[in-house]
Protein backbone atom coordinates (compact mmCIF):
# COMPACT_ATOMS: atom_id res chain seq x y z
CA UNK A 1 0.00 0.00 0.00
CA UNK A 2 1.45 3.34 -1.08
CA UNK A 3 1.80 5.87 1.72
CA UNK A 4 1.50 9.46 0.61
CA UNK A 5 4.49 11.65 1.26
CA UNK A 6 4.19 15.08 2.85
CA UNK A 7 4.72 16.65 -0.58
CA UNK A 8 1.94 14.54 -2.15
CA UNK A 9 -0.43 15.36 0.70
CA UNK A 10 0.24 19.09 0.38
CA UNK A 11 -0.23 18.88 -3.37
CA UNK A 12 -3.62 17.19 -2.90
CA UNK A 13 -4.65 19.73 -0.27
CA UNK A 14 -3.57 22.55 -2.59
CA UNK A 15 -5.69 21.16 -5.45
CA UNK A 16 -8.80 20.77 -3.29
CA UNK A 17 -8.31 24.17 -1.68
CA UNK A 18 -7.83 25.85 -5.05
CA UNK A 19 -10.99 24.26 -6.46
CA UNK A 20 -12.95 25.43 -3.42
CA UNK A 21 -11.66 28.98 -3.86
CA UNK A 22 -12.55 29.03 -7.55
CA UNK A 23 -15.99 27.68 -6.73
CA UNK A 24 -16.57 30.67 -4.44
CA UNK A 25 -15.10 33.03 -7.05
CA UNK A 26 -17.58 31.57 -9.54
CA UNK A 27 -20.46 32.03 -7.08
CA UNK A 28 -19.41 35.62 -6.40
CA UNK A 29 -19.18 36.51 -10.11
CA UNK A 30 -22.46 34.69 -10.76
CA UNK A 31 -24.05 36.78 -8.02
CA UNK A 32 -22.73 39.95 -9.68
CA UNK A 33 -24.15 38.86 -13.04
CA UNK A 34 -27.54 38.32 -11.42
CA UNK A 35 -27.34 41.75 -9.77
CA UNK A 36 -26.89 43.38 -13.18
CA UNK A 37 -30.06 41.67 -14.44
CA UNK A 38 -32.09 42.44 -11.31
CA UNK A 39 -31.03 46.08 -11.52
CA UNK A 40 -32.07 46.15 -15.19
CA UNK A 41 -35.67 45.18 -14.33
CA UNK A 42 -35.89 47.50 -11.35
CA UNK A 43 -35.59 44.83 -8.65
CA UNK A 44 -33.01 46.61 -6.49
CA UNK A 45 -34.71 45.39 -3.31
CA UNK A 46 -34.12 41.80 -4.40
CA UNK A 47 -30.39 42.29 -4.95
CA UNK A 48 -28.27 40.43 -2.40
CA UNK A 49 -24.93 41.81 -1.30
CA UNK A 50 -23.68 38.26 -0.69
CA UNK A 51 -21.62 39.39 2.31
CA UNK A 52 -21.52 35.94 3.92
CA UNK A 53 -20.32 34.32 0.69
CA UNK A 54 -17.81 37.10 0.06
CA UNK A 55 -16.52 36.91 3.64
CA UNK A 56 -16.13 33.12 3.31
CA UNK A 57 -14.16 33.55 0.07
CA UNK A 58 -11.82 36.08 1.66
CA UNK A 59 -11.24 33.80 4.67
CA UNK A 60 -10.35 30.94 2.30
CA UNK A 61 -7.97 33.22 0.39
CA UNK A 62 -6.28 34.47 3.55
CA UNK A 63 -5.87 30.92 4.84
CA UNK A 64 -4.46 29.79 1.48
CA UNK A 65 -1.79 32.48 1.61
CA UNK A 66 -0.91 31.58 5.20
CA UNK A 67 -0.50 27.89 4.35
CA UNK A 68 1.09 28.07 0.91
CA UNK A 69 2.91 31.39 1.22
CA UNK A 70 3.08 34.02 -1.46
CA UNK A 71 5.28 34.55 -4.50
CA UNK A 72 7.35 37.66 -5.16
CA UNK A 73 5.70 40.14 -7.52
CA UNK A 74 7.09 41.92 -10.56
CA UNK A 75 6.85 45.67 -11.14
CA UNK A 76 3.42 45.55 -12.81
CA UNK A 77 1.93 43.51 -9.98
CA UNK A 78 3.52 45.78 -7.35
CA UNK A 79 2.06 48.83 -9.12
CA UNK A 80 -1.37 47.14 -9.13
CA UNK A 81 -0.98 46.42 -5.42
CA UNK A 82 -0.05 50.06 -4.73
CA UNK A 83 -3.10 51.20 -6.67
CA UNK A 84 -5.41 48.83 -4.76
CA UNK A 85 -4.03 49.84 -1.38
CA UNK A 86 -4.42 53.50 -2.36
CA UNK A 87 -8.07 52.83 -3.21
CA UNK A 88 -8.57 51.01 0.11
CA UNK A 89 -7.02 53.78 2.21
CA UNK A 90 -8.87 56.64 0.49
CA UNK A 91 -12.12 54.63 0.63
CA UNK A 92 -11.57 54.24 4.37
CA UNK A 93 -11.26 58.02 4.72
CA UNK A 94 -14.30 58.67 2.54
CA UNK A 95 -16.42 56.11 4.39
CA UNK A 96 -15.43 57.65 7.73
CA UNK A 97 -16.62 61.07 6.59
CA UNK A 98 -19.90 59.80 5.09
CA UNK A 99 -20.72 57.43 7.95
CA UNK A 100 -20.54 54.30 5.76
CA UNK A 101 -17.67 52.76 7.70
CA UNK A 102 -18.90 49.16 8.04
CA UNK A 103 -17.24 45.79 7.51
CA UNK A 104 -19.59 44.78 4.62
CA UNK A 105 -18.64 48.01 2.84
CA UNK A 106 -15.01 46.87 2.66
CA UNK A 107 -15.57 43.24 1.59
CA UNK A 108 -15.64 44.02 -2.16
CA UNK A 109 -12.83 46.59 -1.85
CA UNK A 110 -10.48 44.21 -0.03
CA UNK A 111 -11.22 41.28 -2.38
CA UNK A 112 -9.08 42.46 -5.36
CA UNK A 113 -6.03 42.82 -3.08
CA UNK A 114 -6.32 39.25 -1.79
CA UNK A 115 -7.07 37.94 -5.29
CA UNK A 116 -3.86 39.56 -6.54
CA UNK A 117 -1.77 37.71 -3.93
CA UNK A 118 -3.66 34.45 -4.50
CA UNK A 119 -3.46 34.39 -8.31
CA UNK A 120 0.22 35.30 -8.25
CA UNK A 121 1.00 32.35 -5.95
CA UNK A 122 -1.46 29.89 -7.50
CA UNK A 123 -0.24 30.49 -11.07
CA UNK A 124 3.27 29.41 -10.06
CA UNK A 125 2.11 26.24 -8.30
CA UNK A 126 -0.08 24.95 -11.15
CA UNK A 127 0.90 23.77 -14.63
CA UNK A 128 0.19 26.25 -17.41
CA UNK A 129 -2.45 24.17 -19.17
CA UNK A 130 -4.42 23.75 -15.93
CA UNK A 131 -4.30 27.49 -15.30
CA UNK A 132 -5.80 28.23 -18.71
CA UNK A 133 -8.27 25.34 -18.38
CA UNK A 134 -9.52 26.58 -15.01
CA UNK A 135 -10.08 30.17 -16.15
CA UNK A 136 -11.66 29.01 -19.43
CA UNK A 137 -14.06 26.71 -17.54
CA UNK A 138 -15.00 29.68 -15.34
CA UNK A 139 -15.73 31.69 -18.50
CA UNK A 140 -17.98 28.98 -19.97
CA UNK A 141 -19.93 28.49 -16.73
CA UNK A 142 -20.54 32.22 -16.36
CA UNK A 143 -21.53 32.53 -20.04
CA UNK A 144 -24.14 29.79 -19.57
CA UNK A 145 -25.44 31.54 -16.45
CA UNK A 146 -25.55 34.84 -18.35
CA UNK A 147 -27.85 33.36 -20.99
CA UNK A 148 -29.95 31.67 -18.33
CA UNK A 149 -30.53 35.05 -16.66
CA UNK A 150 -30.93 36.70 -20.07
CA UNK A 151 -33.75 34.37 -21.11
CA UNK A 152 -35.41 34.52 -17.69
CA UNK A 153 -35.14 38.23 -16.98
CA UNK A 154 -35.75 39.50 -20.53
CA UNK A 155 -39.32 38.14 -20.30
CA UNK A 156 -40.00 40.80 -17.66
CA UNK A 157 -38.69 43.68 -19.77
CA UNK A 158 -40.87 46.19 -21.56
CA UNK A 159 -37.91 48.15 -22.96
CA UNK A 160 -34.69 47.54 -24.84
CA UNK A 161 -32.28 45.32 -22.93
CA UNK A 162 -28.74 46.64 -22.39
CA UNK A 163 -26.58 44.96 -19.75
CA UNK A 164 -23.16 45.75 -18.26
CA UNK A 165 -22.76 42.18 -17.02
CA UNK A 166 -21.31 41.22 -20.40
CA UNK A 167 -18.07 43.03 -19.45
CA UNK A 168 -17.44 40.28 -16.90
CA UNK A 169 -17.45 37.70 -19.70
CA UNK A 170 -15.54 39.92 -22.16
CA UNK A 171 -12.55 40.22 -19.84
CA UNK A 172 -11.96 36.46 -19.99
CA UNK A 173 -10.98 36.88 -23.66
CA UNK A 174 -7.19 37.38 -23.15
CA UNK A 175 -6.86 34.13 -21.16
CA UNK A 176 -9.00 32.24 -23.67
CA UNK A 177 -6.68 33.38 -26.45
CA UNK A 178 -3.83 31.60 -24.63
CA UNK A 179 -5.45 28.23 -25.43
CA UNK A 180 -3.35 26.35 -27.96
CA UNK A 181 -6.14 24.09 -29.24
CA UNK A 182 -7.83 26.22 -31.92
CA UNK A 183 -11.09 24.25 -31.88
CA UNK A 184 -11.61 24.71 -28.13
CA UNK A 185 -10.46 28.32 -28.36
CA UNK A 186 -12.94 29.15 -31.13
CA UNK A 187 -15.82 27.46 -29.29
CA UNK A 188 -15.22 29.58 -26.20
CA UNK A 189 -14.74 32.67 -28.38
CA UNK A 190 -18.20 32.04 -29.81
CA UNK A 191 -19.61 32.05 -26.26
CA UNK A 192 -17.93 35.38 -25.50
CA UNK A 193 -19.03 36.87 -28.83
CA UNK A 194 -22.65 35.80 -28.31
CA UNK A 195 -22.71 37.30 -24.81
CA UNK A 196 -21.25 40.64 -25.91
CA UNK A 197 -23.53 40.94 -28.94
CA UNK A 198 -26.66 40.02 -26.96
CA UNK A 199 -25.89 42.71 -24.38
CA UNK A 200 -26.13 45.44 -27.04
CA UNK A 201 -23.29 47.33 -25.31
CA UNK A 202 -21.58 49.33 -28.04
CA UNK A 203 -18.39 49.72 -26.04
CA UNK A 204 -18.26 45.97 -25.48
CA UNK A 205 -18.82 45.20 -29.17
CA UNK A 206 -16.14 47.71 -30.24
CA UNK A 207 -13.69 46.37 -27.63
CA UNK A 208 -14.27 42.78 -28.72
CA UNK A 209 -13.94 43.55 -32.43
CA UNK A 210 -10.88 45.77 -32.14
CA UNK A 211 -9.02 43.44 -29.76
CA UNK A 212 -9.63 40.40 -31.96
CA UNK A 213 -8.58 42.37 -35.04
CA UNK A 214 -5.29 43.30 -33.34
CA UNK A 215 -4.79 39.73 -32.11
CA UNK A 216 -5.28 38.13 -35.54
CA UNK A 217 -3.25 40.86 -37.25
CA UNK A 218 -0.30 40.22 -34.96
CA UNK A 219 -0.68 36.52 -35.56
CA UNK A 220 -0.69 37.03 -39.32
CA UNK A 221 2.40 39.24 -39.44
CA UNK A 222 4.31 36.75 -37.29
CA UNK A 223 3.89 34.03 -39.92
CA UNK A 224 7.01 33.29 -41.90
CA UNK A 225 5.54 30.25 -43.60
CA UNK A 226 3.25 31.07 -46.56
CA UNK A 227 1.02 28.02 -46.01
CA UNK A 228 0.47 28.95 -42.37
CA UNK A 229 -0.20 32.55 -43.36
CA UNK A 230 -2.86 31.47 -45.86
CA UNK A 231 -4.38 29.00 -43.39
CA UNK A 232 -4.79 31.61 -40.67
CA UNK A 233 -6.10 34.14 -43.19
CA UNK A 234 -8.77 31.60 -44.13
CA UNK A 235 -9.61 30.90 -40.45
CA UNK A 236 -9.85 34.63 -39.74
CA UNK A 237 -12.17 35.10 -42.73
CA UNK A 238 -14.44 32.32 -41.48
CA UNK A 239 -14.44 33.89 -38.00
CA UNK A 240 -15.47 37.26 -39.46
CA UNK A 241 -18.26 35.60 -41.44
CA UNK A 242 -19.57 33.81 -38.32
CA UNK A 243 -19.41 37.04 -36.30
CA UNK A 244 -21.41 38.93 -38.96
CA UNK A 245 -23.93 36.06 -39.11
CA UNK A 246 -24.35 36.11 -35.31
CA UNK A 247 -24.71 39.90 -35.36
CA UNK A 248 -27.49 39.71 -37.95
CA UNK A 249 -29.31 36.91 -36.11
CA UNK A 250 -29.17 38.63 -32.73
CA UNK A 251 -30.14 41.95 -34.34
CA UNK A 252 -33.28 40.37 -35.84
CA UNK A 253 -34.16 38.63 -32.56
CA UNK A 254 -33.82 41.96 -30.69
CA UNK A 255 -35.97 43.91 -33.18
CA UNK A 256 -32.97 45.74 -34.66
CA UNK A 257 -31.71 46.89 -31.25
CA UNK A 258 -28.06 46.27 -32.18
CA UNK A 259 -28.16 48.18 -35.45
CA UNK A 260 -30.13 51.03 -33.88
CA UNK A 261 -27.61 51.28 -31.04
CA UNK A 262 -24.63 51.33 -33.41
CA UNK A 263 -26.29 53.84 -35.76
CA UNK A 264 -27.00 56.22 -32.86
CA UNK A 265 -23.43 56.08 -31.53
CA UNK A 266 -22.61 59.65 -32.62
CA UNK A 267 -26.15 61.00 -32.36
CA UNK A 268 -26.46 60.42 -28.60
CA UNK A 269 -22.78 61.17 -27.81
CA UNK A 270 -22.30 57.71 -26.34
CA UNK A 271 -25.51 57.70 -24.24
CA UNK A 272 -24.87 61.24 -23.03
CA UNK A 273 -21.29 60.67 -21.90
CA UNK A 274 -20.27 64.17 -22.99
CA UNK A 275 -22.62 65.62 -20.35
CA UNK A 276 -21.42 63.11 -17.74
CA UNK A 277 -17.78 63.98 -18.42
CA UNK A 278 -18.49 67.72 -18.27
CA UNK A 279 -20.33 67.47 -14.95
CA UNK A 280 -17.65 65.24 -13.41
CA UNK A 281 -14.86 67.54 -14.59
CA UNK A 282 -16.60 70.54 -13.05
CA UNK A 283 -16.99 68.61 -9.78
CA UNK A 284 -13.24 67.93 -9.78
CA UNK A 285 -12.42 71.59 -10.45
CA UNK A 286 -14.72 72.69 -7.60
CA UNK A 287 -13.11 70.27 -5.10
CA UNK A 288 -11.06 71.64 -2.22
CA UNK A 289 -7.32 70.91 -2.01
CA UNK A 290 -7.54 67.96 0.43
CA UNK A 291 -10.36 66.32 -1.54
CA UNK A 292 -8.39 66.77 -4.75
CA UNK A 293 -5.37 65.16 -3.09
CA UNK A 294 -7.07 62.27 -1.26
CA UNK A 295 -10.43 62.03 -3.01
CA UNK A 296 -14.01 61.91 -1.75
CA UNK A 297 -14.26 58.14 -1.21
CA UNK A 298 -15.28 55.10 -3.21
CA UNK A 299 -18.02 55.64 -5.83
CA UNK A 300 -18.49 59.28 -4.79
CA UNK A 301 -19.24 60.65 -8.26
CA UNK A 302 -22.69 59.05 -8.10
CA UNK A 303 -23.38 60.56 -4.68
CA UNK A 304 -22.28 64.10 -5.59
CA UNK A 305 -23.36 64.33 -9.24
CA UNK A 306 -26.64 66.10 -9.96
CA UNK A 307 -27.50 63.41 -12.53
CA UNK A 308 -26.66 60.52 -10.12
CA UNK A 309 -24.36 58.76 -12.56
CA UNK A 310 -20.77 57.57 -12.26
CA UNK A 311 -18.09 59.28 -14.35
CA UNK A 312 -18.13 56.49 -16.99
CA UNK A 313 -14.38 57.00 -17.19
CA UNK A 314 -11.86 55.50 -14.78
CA UNK A 315 -9.45 58.41 -15.03
CA UNK A 316 -12.08 60.95 -13.98
CA UNK A 317 -13.61 58.58 -11.43
CA UNK A 318 -10.27 57.86 -9.77
CA UNK A 319 -9.35 61.54 -9.62
CA UNK A 320 -12.63 62.47 -7.91
CA UNK A 321 -13.06 59.36 -5.74
CA UNK A 322 -9.47 58.65 -4.71
CA UNK A 323 -7.49 61.78 -5.52
CA UNK A 324 -4.30 62.77 -7.35
CA UNK A 325 -2.04 60.32 -5.50
CA UNK A 326 -4.04 57.24 -6.52
CA UNK A 327 -4.38 58.61 -10.06
CA UNK A 328 -0.56 58.73 -10.18
CA UNK A 329 -0.42 55.03 -9.21
CA UNK A 330 -2.98 54.29 -11.95
CA UNK A 331 -1.01 56.14 -14.62
CA UNK A 332 2.22 54.50 -13.46
CA UNK A 333 0.56 51.10 -13.85
CA UNK A 334 -0.30 52.00 -17.46
CA UNK A 335 3.31 53.02 -18.14
CA UNK A 336 4.63 49.70 -16.81
CA UNK A 337 1.97 47.69 -18.67
CA UNK A 338 2.89 49.36 -21.99
CA UNK A 339 6.61 48.88 -21.36
CA UNK A 340 5.89 45.20 -20.68
CA UNK A 341 4.19 44.96 -24.08
CA UNK A 342 7.25 46.26 -25.94
CA UNK A 343 9.52 44.01 -23.87
CA UNK A 344 7.39 40.96 -24.78
CA UNK A 345 7.47 42.04 -28.42
CA UNK A 346 11.28 42.24 -28.41
CA UNK A 347 11.48 38.81 -26.79
CA UNK A 348 9.05 37.26 -29.32
CA UNK A 349 6.82 36.17 -26.45
CA UNK A 350 4.21 33.58 -27.33
CA UNK A 351 1.73 35.56 -25.20
CA UNK A 352 2.15 38.91 -26.98
CA UNK A 353 -1.19 38.54 -28.81
CA UNK A 354 -3.32 37.80 -25.71
CA UNK A 355 -1.51 40.54 -23.79
CA UNK A 356 -2.21 43.07 -26.56
CA UNK A 357 -5.94 42.24 -26.43
CA UNK A 358 -5.87 42.69 -22.67
CA UNK A 359 -4.37 46.17 -22.97
CA UNK A 360 -6.94 47.19 -25.59
CA UNK A 361 -9.96 45.91 -23.65
CA UNK A 362 -8.69 47.32 -20.36
CA UNK A 363 -8.03 50.76 -21.88
CA UNK A 364 -11.33 51.00 -23.79
CA UNK A 365 -13.44 49.90 -20.82
CA UNK A 366 -11.53 52.32 -18.61
CA UNK A 367 -12.15 55.18 -21.05
CA UNK A 368 -15.86 54.56 -21.67
CA UNK A 369 -17.02 52.69 -18.59
CA UNK A 370 -15.39 51.38 -15.40
CA UNK A 371 -13.05 48.67 -14.23
CA UNK A 372 -11.65 50.11 -11.00
CA UNK A 373 -14.91 50.67 -9.08
CA UNK A 374 -16.52 47.38 -10.18
CA UNK A 375 -14.85 44.69 -8.01
CA UNK A 376 -16.17 41.83 -10.16
CA UNK A 377 -14.64 43.30 -13.33
CA UNK A 378 -11.51 44.38 -11.48
CA UNK A 379 -10.66 40.91 -10.13
CA UNK A 380 -10.91 39.40 -13.63
CA UNK A 381 -8.60 42.12 -14.94
CA UNK A 382 -6.16 41.28 -12.14
CA UNK A 383 -6.35 37.59 -13.08
CA UNK A 384 -5.62 38.49 -16.70
CA UNK A 385 -2.56 40.62 -15.97
CA UNK A 386 -1.07 38.31 -13.34
CA UNK A 387 -1.65 35.06 -15.22
CA UNK A 388 -0.41 36.26 -18.62
CA UNK A 389 2.70 37.97 -17.22
CA UNK A 390 3.50 34.93 -15.05
CA UNK A 391 2.95 32.54 -17.96
CA UNK A 392 5.30 34.70 -20.01
CA UNK A 393 7.98 34.67 -17.29
CA UNK A 394 7.74 30.91 -16.84
CA UNK A 395 7.92 30.32 -20.59
CA UNK A 396 10.96 32.56 -20.98
CA UNK A 397 12.74 30.88 -18.08
CA UNK A 398 12.18 27.47 -19.69
CA UNK A 399 13.51 28.72 -23.02
CA UNK A 400 16.20 31.10 -21.83
CA UNK A 401 18.75 29.44 -24.09
CA UNK A 402 16.61 29.97 -27.17
CA UNK A 403 16.60 33.17 -29.18
CA UNK A 404 12.95 32.92 -30.24
CA UNK A 405 9.80 31.30 -28.91
CA UNK A 406 6.73 30.14 -30.78
CA UNK A 407 3.73 32.51 -30.72
CA UNK A 408 0.41 31.13 -29.50
CA UNK A 409 -1.65 29.81 -32.39
CA UNK A 410 1.05 27.95 -34.29
Distance CA 405, CA 323 (A): 42
Question: What pTM did the predictor assign?
Answer: 0.84
Distance CA 38, CA 31 (A): 10
Burial class of residue 371 in the structure, from the number of CB atoms within 10 Å of its CB (0-12 exposed, 13-18 middle, 19+ buried)? buried
| Helix H or strand E encompassing 29 | helix 6-40
Give me the pLDDT at residue 209, please.
87
Give me the pLDDT at residue 135, please.
95
Give me the pLDDT at residue 274, please.
83
Angle of helix 6-40 relative to helix 128-153, nearest 10 degrees, comes to 20
Please spell the DSSP secondary structure of 139-185, one letter per residue. HHHHHHHHHHHHHHHGGG-SS----TTHHHHHTTHHHHTT-S-HHHH
Closest by CA position to 344, among listed 391, 302, 292: 391
Alpha carbon of 307 to those of 278, 285, 304, 336: distances in Å? 12, 17, 9, 35
Alpha carbon of 181 to those of 168, 212, 264, 334, 408: distances in Å? 23, 17, 38, 31, 10
Alpha carbon of 378 to those of 108, 181, 371, 374: distances in Å? 10, 27, 5, 6
Distance CA 37, CA 367 (A): 23
Give me the pLDDT at residue 351, please.
92
| Helix H or strand E encompassing 406 | none
Distance CA 313, CA 331 (A): 14
Closest by CA position to 330, among listed 363, 355, 308: 363
Question: Would you tell me how many other CB atoms lie within 10 Å of the CB of residue 7?
Answer: 8
Q: Give the dihedral sign, CA 139/145/151/153.
A: negative
Give me the pLDDT at residue 231, please.
59
The answer to whether 86 and 292 have CB atoms below 8 angstroms apart is no
Backbone angles phi, psi at 200, to 5 degrees: 60, 25
Instruction: Please report which residue ranges of 42-102 form alpha helices under DSSP H.
Output: 51-68, 75-98
Distance CA 167, CA 373 (A): 13
Give me the pLDDT at residue 171, please.
95
Q: What is the mean pLDDT of each run of 10 residues along the chain (410 residues)?
A: 71 90 92 76 42 82 86 87 88 62 65 92 90 94 89 57 80 94 87 85 86 81 54 60 58 56 50 82 89 86 86 92 93 95 88 94 92 90 95 80 50
Three-class SS of residue 286? Answer: coil
Distance CA 42, CA 74 (A): 43
Give me the pLDDT at residue 402, please.
55
Q: What is the 3-state secondary structure (H, E, C) of 372-385?
A: CCCHHHHHHHHHHH
Amino acid sequence: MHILTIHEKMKAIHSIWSLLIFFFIYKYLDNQLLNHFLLEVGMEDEMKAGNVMLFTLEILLFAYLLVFGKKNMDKIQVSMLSLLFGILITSFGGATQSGNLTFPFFFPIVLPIIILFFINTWSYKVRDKYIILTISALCILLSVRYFYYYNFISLSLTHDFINNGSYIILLFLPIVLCIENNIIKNIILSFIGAVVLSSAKRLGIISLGLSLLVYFSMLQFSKKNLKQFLLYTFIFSIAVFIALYMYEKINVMSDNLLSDRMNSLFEDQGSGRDEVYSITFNMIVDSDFLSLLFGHGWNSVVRYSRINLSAHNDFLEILFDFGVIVLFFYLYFYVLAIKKFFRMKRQYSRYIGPYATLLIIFFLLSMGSHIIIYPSVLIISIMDFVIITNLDKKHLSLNENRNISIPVGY
